[in-house]
Amino acid sequence: MLKYSGSNQKVKTQITGVSGTTYTYNQSLTGVWDVYPLTDGNGGYKISVFENISGTSYATVFSYSLTVSLKDEFAPFLLSNKYVNYSSSSKVVKKSTELCAGKTAILGKIKVVYEYVIGNFTYDYKLAKTVQSGYIPDLDADMEKKSGICFDYAAVMTAMLRSQGIPTKMVFGYTGEVYHAWISVYSAETGWMNSVIYFNGKEWKLMDPTFASSGKSSAAIMKYIGNGKNYTAKYLY
């Protein structure tokens, strides 16, 4: 967590973990704590804060290195953060609890969450044309207006699944040479299921859920889960 209490109107936070990938965030200027996920897991991280000097030039005002040892390796993918921001009282959590009531199977919960969002949300083409760099979904607002861009869809579904105790990654990366987004979830039976919900460049899709009853021997699991080479993650949130 990090809070900025200065007066500069353009502040950025950068976090670099053991993977070497640098995440750049627009730091909140309202004196609130920003929660940043340490998605590289255990190891060394460098956190730096920069204030704008002029134009696109920034100066370092804070830099700190730390070593992380997680008590729970899934913690970064079970909790709220700057990009997937919710609380127990959030509308997104209440709706998820309602949808998943009585369901115990992880894939059953994934299916109802996916069907709810895809069936009730509409794509906001106006926002897509005007969205600015640094845009962050407001999940309660999304639930109220039931519209958004792909980032909103992904964040809403991720929050819904995390609130049900399902480790969930919101991922931006590549399949082959195509840059797109997907949601990966973890279950004890299968491990990480990559791209269980994915964006194909035009719309969100749900991986065929019929493999649920056939275990790791399922051809669908081997194709979409077992072959990690199909997916190259760039950013995890």
In this prediction, residue 134 carries a pLDDT of 86
Give 63's strand partners: 48
DSSP code string of 125-145:
HHHHHHPPTT----HHHHHHH
Helix (H, G, I), strand (E, B) or coil at 88: coil
**Amino acid identity, position 52:** N
Do 87 and 93 contact (CB within 8 A), yes or no? yes
At 147, the pLDDT band (50, 70, 90 cuts) reads very high
Report pLDDT digits (tens) over 123-137: 888 998 998 888 999
Report which of 38, 166, 181, 58 is spatially closest to residue 111, judged by C-alpha positions.
166
Name the strands in the sheet holding 168-175, side by side, starting at the edge strand that comes first in the sequence. 204-206, 191-199, 178-187, 168-175, 232-236
Average confidence (pLDDT) over 163-183: 83
Whole-angstrom distance, CA of residue 39 vs CA of residue 75: 9
In this prediction, residue 178 carries a pLDDT of 65
Q: Is residue 201's pLDDT more than 90?
A: no
Report pLDDT digits (tens) over 150-160: 889 989 999 99
Task: Give the residue, 76 or 134, on which the prediction is more confident.
Answer: 76
